[in-house]
Amino acid sequence: MDLPHEEGKTAFLDALQRYLSSVETLDDHQLLAPTRCYGWSVVDLLVHLNLSLQEMSQDFSSTTDREPEVNAATYWLTDLPRSDPAADEVDAISFIRRVASAYRRPTGLVRHLRRTADALARAAAQVGPGALVFQDHVMTTGNYFATWAAELAVHHLDLMVALSLEGPTTASLQIARRTVESLLGSALPETWSDEEAVLVGWGRTPPTSEQRAAAGELADRLPVLS
C-alpha cells in the first residue's frame, strides 16, 4: 500500500484540521468524556495526539537516501521502539493521564494542541517528496503522512463513543480502511461503510452478526489491528 506524497500529505493535513475543529467545540465537561481508548478520556487522547505531533516535527529532519522498508500498511506490523523497555501498557496509560492532569482545565490543553498543530502544519507544508526515518524504519513521505492520516481517523472515531461530533474526513477514513484491506489481502464487503470497516478492522468494535454474515471467512481474521 503506497500513497503518493501529495495525496498522503493532503489527507493528513485535512484530517488534522477536521480533528481540531471538532474538539475545539467541546467544553471542559465534554473533554472529560470517555473514549474507545481504554483508560483515557477525551483530554487524555488529546495529550497523546499533542505528543505525537511534537514527535512528527522532529521526523521532518530525518530525511534519508536509504530505500523504504515499510509502507503505509506494513508499518503497523512493526514493533515500536521504547525508551523504557520495562514499561507496560498500564505505564503508558498512566503517563498520559498524569500529563493531562497538569493542565488546570482540559480546554487549556486544546489551546496548546492548536498551537502545536498549526506549527506542525506549516512545517509539513514545506516537506517535499522523499524518504524519512520514522521509529527506526524508512518510509516514503507519502506513506509516512498516510499512516498519520489513518491514525487520526481512528482516534477521531475514538472520540465519538460518548460525544456527537463531525466525523473524520473521507480521505483519512478511506486510507484507514485501505490499511485494513491491505493487511488482510482482501477487500472488505462493499456493504460496509468506511466507518464500519475502520471500527471493526482496527479492533474498536466487534463485528455484528450482520457484518459477520457479509464478511464470511474474513470475519474470523478481524480485527487486523488494535
Q: What pLDDT digit, counting tens, does each position of 166-195 carry?
A: 999 999 999 999 999 999 999 999 999 999
pTM: 0.94
Return d(Cα 201, Cα 48) in angstroms, integer: 21
How does 197-218 read in b/e, with b if 16+ C-beta sit within 10 Å?
bbbbbbebbebeeebeebbeeb
Average of per-residue pLDDT across 126-153: 96
pLDDT at 82: 61
Residues 71-112 pLDDT 10s = 999 999 987 666 666 677 898 899 999 999 999 999 999 999
pLDDT at 112: 96
Q: Using alpha carbons only, what angle is made at residue 216 by residues 210 and 217, rounded to the nearest 5 degrees?
A: 140
pLDDT tier at 116, thresholds 50, 70, 90: very high
pLDDT at 91: 85
Q: How confident is the prediction for the chain on average, in pLDDT?
A: 94
Selected residue with higher pLDDT from 65 and 83: 65
pLDDT at 209: 95
Average of per-residue pLDDT across 145-157: 98
Residues 33-61 pLDDT 10s = 999 999 999 999 999 999 999 999 999 99
Selected residue with higher pLDDT from 226 and 216: 216
Residue 141 has pLDDT above 80, yes or no: yes
pLDDT at 143: 98
pLDDT at 81: 61
Three-class SS string for 130-163?
Answer: CEEEECCEEEEHHHHHHHHHHHHHHHHHHHCCCC
Return d(Cα 113, Cα 53) in angstroms, integer: 9
- Coil/strand/helix, residue 41: strand
pLDDT at 84: 66
